[in-house]
Structure 1
Amino acid sequence: MAMMPRKDKLSATPISNVQFTVKDMIGIPLLKGARLLTGDKGVSRPITAVNVADGNGVNLTRPGEFLMAADYPYRDEPDRLLRLVPELARNGVAAIGIRTGDDSADVPRDVVEEAERYGLPLLALPGDCGISELAVAVMENVLALETSQISELQRRIQAMSRFLLEGKGIFGMLDAMEDLLDNPVAIVRENDKPWLSASLRVKEPSELWPLLQSLAYRQVSRGAGNGFAMLQGSFRVYAREIPQGRGRQACLVLVERSRDIRAIDALSVDRMAPLVGVELANVEAVREVEGKYLDQFVQDWLTGKIVSDNDWKLRADVCGCVVPEGVPMCALLVGMQRRDPAEKLKETARRLRSELVRAAEGVLVSPVGDDLAIVVPVPESAGDGTSKAAEAVSAKLLEELRSLLGDKELRLYAGRTFGRAEGLPASWSQAVRARQVAEVCGLPGDIVHYDKLGVYSLLYLIPPGDEREQFLNRYAIPLQLADRKGGGRLVETLEMFFRCNGNIKLTSEKLYAHYNTIVYRLEKAQSILGVSLDDPEDRLQLHLALKLVQITPSPTA
């Protein structure tokens, strides 16, 4: 399978000795007398260039630059530099140097604290330090290291290209990137869960919950786009958009967790993003083929076309479907407000297959005819009835479905839980029947379980025959005939009357009719049938007759 992680590892070439860092820069003679105000943890950051800050060109800064500023532009606006510090940190600036004169006041304390918060080195430079002299001194060191860094970059790209050609899959590529870059890597996609490299996959979710929450496409693309960003929990990341063609938008994200992200790391991510795009296209192609096999497998399974246990296991294996053996399962029908066309229904099923991960493991989603079916493993055995565990899983699944599909009125119809695979066709038939009965009879509830239909399931099972016809001719057909002759919506009024538990005032409000009009209609219905709504027996017979007409309409009705 293309999605299986591989254990192949690529060791990164140590490049700490081929970098010119903030610490190295402080040591040059030109900066004798400079003071490091804060940012001890960031002194190992590599410097690639020197730039000058005038307060207006923050967007022109590049990762790895040492930004030099005089203090006088900020004397009249002390908050100006404070506002710049977070932006410079997000842009990947290696350090900030503020050139102060002998008569200049110290750098404001709140600026120092803000730099400390972002781990950004902040230096107080001698007043006679010139930008041109410092730039020459830095670039002499940087250019001497450029050849070795280009060689390292080329080695990394060659290694990742080899992984791509060997078909080691998304996880194999991410794990190799983590080995090369010494930091975790993730792929975040629009409307999809992220793919994570090894160190993020093996950790307990609670340890990385803030990071996992922030690794959503909307937040990453909005915060980083193509560059550095600070995510929730003060995680600094570097993100690059992955070329996807017609596919969903995606970003390759390098997380600054094990060490500082260097300029060569950011450049490596830029070059690796197109390679990841090729692998994502391969994954989509595999998903498309597997999805077609899975759809057909689930459809045949739920409609009873798979009769052999060996055939069932073989079909499940071919389509990449992992169904735990010995675990009870039930079938659910998703009742949506709108009926989507077949292609739209397939796309919805594919999306849910990739996102329904919290409700239960091993959930299968597939269109069956014009309906959307879900096969749900139930964590504990429940025999032939609907267990509390099945109800709990269904409730959790309903909440997740409503959130993913944006349908707050969505309902679920559940069949019974069965302990063996061959029981699923019966469970699906029961789910379909639960939907039919619930819609016809106006049953309430977000989840309608077949086992809780009560008398409605019995009415549904009554076959056509003389007894049924006689019953309907006694209590239902006369009202229908009267309505056709202009009798005043008698059937509709009685149905609403029973739905309102015999409350005439509420019935009139629901039907937007005068109270006396409802009374007149009820009296006329009683007169036609020769019954009394005050008699519990007559009331029950009439109520059942109306429900029976709805469930199994008479040909003469």
Structure 2
Amino acid sequence: MPSPEEHPSGPLGPGPVPGDHEVEALRRIAATVNSNLELSAVLDAIVSAVSAFTEWQLCWVTALDVPAGVAEVIAREDRLTYSGDSQQRIWPIEGIPARDLIGGTGPIVVDDAQQSPYRFYADDARRRGYRCGVLLPLREPYLDGRPLVLAVQRRTAGQVGDRALAFLEAVADLSSVALANAGKVADEQRNIAELVRATATLRTGLAATLEGRDGEEILAAVADTLDVAIVVAHHNLAPMFVAAGQSWPPPGKGAADYAALARDEIRRQQGTRGHGASPDVPPPVRVKVTELLPGSERRLWACVLRRGAVTRVETALDSLVNVAVGIVVGRSLLATAAQDKETDTALAELVRRSPSDPLALRVRLAALGLPPPVRCRVVRISARSPVDTDLRRVLSDVHSVLRSRRVSGVVVGWVDSSVVMVLPDTGDDHREAVAAIRGMLHGVAGIGTALTVAMSAPGEVPADGARMWAECETLTLAGVAGGGDVIAYEGFGALAFLLSACRDGEANRFVEARLGELRRYDTEHSGSLVGTLEVFLQCSARFQETARALCVHVSTLRYRLDRITEVLGVDLKDPDERFSLALACRLMRMVEASGTPGGKHL
């Protein structure tokens, strides 16, 4: 090959300037770099141009896998030999000069490769006949992140001139440009593939949504396929659904508390965030928030959590996923609304005295998991003040939470501005049923003094539906079902039928007629004659038993009873009088429990 001439100056000023052959090689390399060919084709063209037009007859590009300790030849042109040795792709890093380029800027010039201290390099040089070599690091890594080295060899030993080094550095620079371009192309292709995959996933999810499949299963599949976390939160920011891709830690506490991350971002956007990392610090997990049902009292929040750097494609994907989540949740809300309406219709028909279509009611109840004739109890949760907007909102929250808990066998709906639950009767004592209902209501915000919770005696549906509803209504209107606790109709025993008297004023009038004078006497004299009378009647008019219960002497008891007889003008030996007074005492306590005006005298 002709020797290139040394030029005293060039277009860039004094210094070594490549000769005609090197210029031709650079021209071809530049044309290849600008051709948008695949990276492997570009690297092959570079090593081929160097080998064809210069003295460097053996040229390769090597990727260094430092952790594994090996170097892989990813592009090669060999005009020295064509044996099988020239096809060796994997080299131990410790046995080649490229080791000295790790973390350095190079270049490395090997005057005589056959005398190199690197055994594998020297053995290969002797076997294939090259002597001088130059190794240069490339500025850009391979697509998988491995550092790259350009290596050239020639037959003759000796020093390498400045012009040759300048040419090889230009080749390394062009190779780095090719790598940078290829990286951008690879990123674009990866982004396109990700968009296509995401679009296909979302299209499948939307098709499944239109088919009426489970919305939670659809969102879980989207989160897993797109490697994101999805949180859907109530208007009060409580999570109603959380799912994460397989590469994410299972939802839990700390960094895996995806609901908390979503809640913090919602509060930050609303300007109500009280604590947490500064928004100026890029978080390890990004949260994209979309408000569903804006302007509604029952608005929801769809949140997509993604890890990694922020890119335009990732941002577009987040928006697409949020739209899809909104569609899936919206479809689920529509389906839920239709189901709720069907449930409310069935419950409203159940508690009516004369259902409009008994057969349709039986079909609806069977669809709700209450195949007639099944024994159930009815529970009514209502606000003490039905016109209070805040209380209605609390009641709505109670309904939403009870529905979301999905207790097996329990049907929840709305009837006459009250939340109604129908639950199977297990045959246990009513106290067991009360405990079960307390467990269902545990932790529900709003259960307190403002709401009443009444439970009927058991019965068959639909036959006893109206009767059970009437019992709940009696407890509610009589005012004995209050304070947020569960009051059972059976708890009043044989006198439960008297509850209706507590709400129409008859009980007050009867109590006043039989006990009014005695109650006023106790008030004026700070006495306890009413309590003494109650215990006496409960002990079946037995003096010794009554005295022990009151912890007083029998003579003291006799004195009190004489005073009661005098004040009331009654004969306590008369069984009819004792029954009338015992009934008045029981009604008095029921009226007091109901909070009926005039019932608080003791």
Q: Please, what TM-score do these two structures have when normalized by structure 2? A: 0.48
**Relative to structure 1, is the Cα distance of residues 321 and 458 closer, same or farther in structure 2, using a 3 angstrom cutoff?**
closer
C-alpha separation in 2, matches of 1:459 and 1:31:
98
C-alpha separation in 1, matches of 2:456 and 2:314:
53
Contact 2:379-2:472 within 8 A present in 1 as well: yes
Deviations 1:236-282 (A, max 9, x none): 754311232225241333477xxx89966665223321232244334
> Offset at 1:302?
1.9
Consecutive unaligned residues of structure 2, counting only runs of 5 or more, are 1-63, 73-97, 105-144, 146-175, 270-275, 278-282, 536-560, 592-602
Q: Which moved more, 1:407-416 or 1:24-33?
A: 24-33
1:312 and 2:312 correspond: no
Equivalent position of 1:240 in the other structure: 288
Residue type at the aligned position of 1:363: V
SS of the residue 2:288 aligns to: strand
Residue type at the aligned position of 2:222: M
Equivalent residue in structure 1 for 2:343, among 279, 287, 294: 294
**Relative to structure 1, is the Cα distance of residues 212 and 386 closer, same or farther in structure 2, using a 3 angstrom cutoff?**
farther
C-alpha separation in 1, matches of 2:387 and 2:264:
33
**Relative to structure 1, is the Cα distance of residues 406 and 430 closer, same or farther in structure 2, using a 3 angstrom cutoff?**
closer
1:178 and 2:207 correspond: no
**1:353-364 alignment runs, 5 A limit:** 353-356=399-402, 357-358=404-405, 360-364=407-411
SS of the residue 1:195 aligns to: strand
> Offset at 1:456?
3.3
> Offset at 1:436?
4.6
C-alpha separation in 1, matches of 2:180 and 2:449:
60
C-alpha separation in 1, matches of 2:458 and 2:532:
31
Equivalent position of 2:424 in the other structure: 377
C-alpha separation in 2, matches of 1:180 and 1:477:
77
> Offset at 1:477?
2.8
> Offset at 1:448?
1.9
Equivalent position of 1:164 in the other structure: 206
**Relative to structure 1, is the Cα distance of residues 369 and 142 closer, same or farther in structure 2, using a 3 angstrom cutoff?**
same
Equivalent residue in structure 1 for 2:473, among 427, 432, 435: 432
Q: Please, what TM-score do these two structures have when normalized by structure 1? A: 0.51
SS of the residue 1:303 aligns to: coil
Consecutive unaligned residues of structure 1, counting only runs of 5 or more, are 1-22, 35-94, 96-134, 201-206, 503-521, 553-557
SS of the residue 2:458 aligns to: coil
Residue type at the aligned position of 2:317: S
C-alpha separation in 2, matches of 1:177 and 1:542:
71
Deviations 1:97-140 (A, max 9, x none): xxxxxxxxxxxxxxxxxxxxxxxxxxxxxxxxxxxxxx999965
**1:391-470 alignment runs, 5 A limit:** 391-400=434-443, 403-405=444-446, 407=448, 410-418=451-459, 420-436=461-477, 439=480, 446-460=485-499
> Offset at 1:408?
6.0
Equivalent position of 1:272 in the other structure: 321
SS of the residue 1:276 aligns to: helix
Deviations 1:480-516 (A, max 9, x none): 6999xxx78979x9999549978xxxxxxxxxxxxxx
> Offset at 1:310?
3.4
C-alpha separation in 2, matches of 1:499 and 1:366:
47
SS of the residue 1:407 aligns to: coil
C-alpha separation in 1, matches of 2:570 and 2:474:
32
Deviations 1:385-411 (A, max 9, x none): 6456523321202324xx322536755
SS of the residue 1:243 aligns to: strand
**Relative to structure 1, is the Cα distance of residues 149 and 377 closer, same or farther in structure 2, using a 3 angstrom cutoff?**
farther
> Offset at 1:222?
0.6
> Offset at 1:330?
0.9
Deviations 1:435-456 (A, max 9, x none): 45563xx999932211221253
> Offset at 1:360?
2.5
Equivalent position of 1:477 in the other structure: 513
1:529 and 2:564 correspond: no
**1:68-217 alignment runs, 5 A limit:** 142-156=183-197, 158-159=199-200, 160-161=202-203, 163-164=205-206, 167-168=210-211, 170-171=215-216, 173-182=218-227, 185-191=230-236, 193-196=239-242, 210=253, 214-216=257-259
> Offset at 1:219?
4.9
Q: Which moved more, 1:294-303 or 1:167-176?
A: 167-176
Equivalent residue in structure 2 for 1:390, among 411, 433, 444: 433
Larger radius of gyration: 2
1:32 and 2:107 correspond: no
C-alpha separation in 2, matches of 1:139 and 1:501:
96
> Offset at 1:533?
9.4
Contact 1:156-1:268 within 8 A present in 2 as well: no
1:331 and 2:378 correspond: yes
SS of the residue 1:242 aligns to: strand
1:252 and 2:269 correspond: no
**Relative to structure 1, is the Cα distance of residues 444 and 269 closer, same or farther in structure 2, using a 3 angstrom cutoff?**
closer
Contact 2:381-2:420 within 8 A present in 1 as well: yes
SS of the residue 2:289 aligns to: strand
C-alpha separation in 2, matches of 1:545 and 1:411:
26
**Relative to structure 1, is the Cα distance of residues 395 and 267 closer, same or farther in structure 2, using a 3 angstrom cutoff?**
same
SS of the residue 1:416 aligns to: coil
> Offset at 1:414?
1.2
> Offset at 1:197?
5.2
> Offset at 1:298?
1.3
**Relative to structure 1, is the Cα distance of residues 476 and 176 closer, same or farther in structure 2, using a 3 angstrom cutoff?**
closer
C-alpha separation in 2, matches of 1:500 and 1:214:
62
**Relative to structure 1, is the Cα distance of residues 347 and 359 closer, same or farther in structure 2, using a 3 angstrom cutoff?**
same
Residue type at the aligned position of 1:194: M
Contact 1:187-1:196 within 8 A present in 2 as well: yes
C-alpha separation in 2, matches of 1:212 and 1:481:
70
SS of the residue 2:386 aligns to: coil
Contact 1:252-1:273 within 8 A present in 2 as well: yes
